[in-house]
A and B are shown apart, each in its own frame.
Chain A
Amino acid sequence: MRRSKRMEILENRPVNKDGFINEWPEKGFIAMSSPYDPKPSIKIENNIIVELDGKKREDFDFIDKFIADHGICIDRAEKSMAMDSVEIARKIVDINVSREEILEIVSGITPAKMVEVINELNVVEMMMGMQKMRARKVPSNQAHITNLKDDPVQIAADGAEGALRGFGEEETTMGIARYAPFNALALLIGGQVGRRGVLTQCSAEEATELELGMRGLSTYAETISVYGTESAFIDGDDTPYSKAFLNCAYASRGIKTRFTSGSGAEVLMGNAEKKSMLYLEVRCLYMTKGAGAQGTQNGSVSCVGIPAAVPSGIREILGENLVASLLGLECASSNDQTFTHSDLRRSARTMLQFLPGTDFIFSGYAGEANYDNLFAGSNFDAEDFDDYNVLQRDMQVDGGLRPVKEEDVIRVRRRAGKAVQAVFKYLGLAEITDEQVEAATYGHGSHDTPNRDVAADLISANDMMKRGITGVDVVRALAMTGFEDVADSILNMLKQRITGDYLQTSAILDEDFRVISAVNHPNDYMGPGTGYRVEGKRWEEIKNIQNVIDPNNL
């Protein structure tokens, strides 16, 4: 066959490098509704759920049991289950029905019913629902702060710049797991240099992550993973109960925590049990709620290549974010992983959370160039900062970021590097040279920084843990080396652990360490003229991009 030139050009477009697969429910490759998904049902006897979604109590697996005992409001169940799914779906979209009323109705429905409700909604209706159901009135954003070298100086510099740019939370992780203490420490300091009150976390193996939190080297956690099938749990030697205990361990030390889950995980683990991705994720979210977690990071997250490969998969991702909000959970709505070669496709995918606003639109946005992103690349990265600022300005939408001046970026990057250098020296950790600080100050990424002695760093990081260094030592080190203001910020972050207000749903902190959460700033959207509006000082900030024509200079 003679090739059509147009077809050849199309064939070479970035989108055709992506991986797609047809629906295959037997292996879980189905987004929103599998023929093997259960039908909604509930039976209650003596205040105990004895039948859930077609399954009798004696046949429950441990997920069904956990959900039946902890995830559904029994007083409300019969009334809510009697409502038509389409009626509930309409109420979710209806601006005249309040968030509180929806939360009440939804608290009594089963996972299979939830799946039916979500299947009634198209993406625009889901966005309407999200705009109303998001827990916190003001949306926010989270960054990833990582680099290929696990260089603590660059972590601090990127963390400071990210905070300056407006991220409410920042998350790091490691190429080499043993770097965790350095990453956590560098991000804790860098974040506070950029903007006081930024929350930071270090994604690591669960016990390590908990220890870093307990020591005050990180200020929140979001890697308590739950799965939608029993077999996926068993593979990781876990149960919903063990996850609930872990959640309590964080809460007992006053550390903000959220769970994480997302469609495609069970497919990737080979444990989907023929169910749709949405149904399995809904089960995860009911467990999250049942375990008493304040929120979730969901929206497929690192498994996004799976839902994105099947029909209606990107719609499903918004659907699962909406379910989190319908259950009253904080939703850090993913957008944090590459899933396509196409700029068109990646932008479109993010609009579904960007336009209605979620508690954290990204979880997170790569605060470095994607080549340095150790979550294997985010959907947006540092090279997209200006695009993102323009998108906020174009649509008068608050995406959580703001334009910044070059001199401010350089200033906070250098100061963060200097502060980390001083703390490392004071605490007797591996050496940080002036050359490294300068390179991280002006560089774009790890291609621009000198190599560190990795073996020496790992010995030093291990030593730091052995010596029992905590957040208080960091405060002291900063105070003794001329960084009193940063010391004060970190001390304030440690105080949050005692007051505990930031354990409330969707909590973030402003630069005076005041908590902004779904308790004191709940979303009250009920159509035009209500809810959060981008206006006043914030609108001026968003408008003020750097690349504008100044008529006086013409």
Chain B
Amino acid sequence: MEIDKKLIEEIVRAVIEEVSLNQEPGNLSSKKEDLGQISVGNFLSGKKPASRGTNPKEVVIGVGPAFNTHIHKTINGLDLSEVLDNIKAGIEEEGMIPRVVKVFKSSDVAFIGIEAAKLSGSGIGIGLQSKGTALIHQRDLYPLSNLELFPQAPLLNLETYRAIGKNAARYAKGEKVTPIEGRNDPMTRPKYQVKAAVMHIKETELVNRKQVTIEW
């Protein structure tokens, strides 16, 4: 993709805004250690603003702001790189093309997912929080609706993530899709909700509503 001058100006402005926001006293992310690795240099070196795809074979995976920079494992300890690899593999197995973007304007899985779907050439996107919660979204649905939702991240394994990729690709192909069978463990909440809160707080501290979504 060609980067024109206007785009570069936009990125620089977004970065400056992000940095100055973080330095404001009282801001949620004002603590020194939270300034994080999204430094100016890192952001510009190879990370481009995400574009809207035109290829109907494309399925976009949107990841949360802390993905693999601040949080490296899901709530039940799966390596985030492996999670992503499995989703991508699932998409590829169906003959479709995965693309990954990182969303900064929200840490909510539904909003990450709809952003991915809107950028996706096929209109199908996958939202993935750093703690592992995922959904399959479609660009013309209400933000808080979805095609399939996997709300209990502690119950997801790499096979499920691969299946999520496969099903998303099938929706993109316009096939009649049988959703992945739901799983439910009533003891998930007692065991994991506090951990989920702490992980989500970490991700939410990196939310910046003015920062553009980038290719990841």
Chain A interface (Cβ < 8 Å from any Cβ of B): 17-21, 27, 29, 148-149, 175-178, 204-208, 231, 234-237, 264, 267-271, 302-306, 308-309, 337-341, 370-374, 376-378, 381, 454-455, 458-459
Which interface class (under 10, 10 to 19, 20 to 34, 35 or more) fits B? 35 or more
B178 touches A303 (CB 8 A): no
A237 touches B184 (CB 8 A): no
Could you say which of B17-25, B37-45, B82-90, B197-205 contacts chain A? B197-205
Known: A270-B203, A304-B189. 16 other contacts (CB 8 A): A17-B187, A19-B195, A21-B194, A27-B198, A27-B201, A148-B182, A206-B142, A208-B145, A235-B106, A235-B107, A268-B200, A305-B189, A309-B194, A374-B182, A377-B187, A377-B189
A26 nearest CB across to chain B (Å) = 10
B191 touches A337 (CB 8 A): no
A176 touches B148 (CB 8 A): yes
Chain B interface (Cβ < 8 Å from any Cβ of A): 28, 106-108, 111, 142-149, 151-152, 176-179, 181-182, 184-198, 200-205, 207, 209
A268 touches B193 (CB 8 A): yes
B178 touches A455 (CB 8 A): yes
* A235 to B106 CA separation, bound complex (whole angstroms): 7
* A269 to B131 CA separation, bound complex (whole angstroms): 13
A338 touches B204 (CB 8 A): no
Q: Could you write out 27 A-B pairs with CB less than 8 Å apart?
A: A19-B194, A19-B195, A21-B194, A149-B182, A177-B146, A207-B142, A234-B209, A268-B193, A270-B107, A305-B189, A305-B193, A308-B190, A339-B189, A340-B190, A341-B190, A341-B191, A371-B184, A372-B184, A373-B186, A376-B152, A376-B184, A376-B185, A377-B184, A377-B187, A377-B188, A378-B186, A458-B179
B193 touches A309 (CB 8 A): yes
Q: Report, nearest first, the 8 A-B pairs whose CB atoms are least far apart.
A: A377-B186, A305-B193, A270-B204, A175-B182, A19-B194, A270-B201, A205-B145, A370-B186
* A20 to B198 CA separation, bound complex (whole angstroms): 12
A371 touches B186 (CB 8 A): yes
Of listed B177, B194, B200, residue having the most chain A CB within 10 A: B194
Residue in A205, A376, A378 whose CB lies within 8 Å of B151: A376
Contacts A235-B106, A268-B196 given; does A338 touch B190 at CB 8 Å: yes
Contacts A148-B182, A148-B184, A207-B142 given; does A376 touch B189 at CB 8 Å: yes
B216 nearest CB across to chain A (Å) = 21
* Residues in chain B near residue A376, CB distance under 8 A: 151-152, 184-186, 188-189
Give the nearest-CB partner of A180 in chain B: B145
B191 touches A18 (CB 8 A): yes
* Residues in chain B near residue A337, CB distance under 8 A: 189
* A237 to B200 CA separation, bound complex (whole angstroms): 18
* Residues in chain A near residue B106, CB distance under 8 A: 235
* A205 to B145 CA separation, bound complex (whole angstroms): 6
Residue in B111, B143, B193, B203 whose CB lies within 8 Å of A306: B193
* Residues in chain B near residue A149, CB distance under 8 A: 182
* Residues in chain A near residue B191, CB distance under 8 A: 17-19, 341
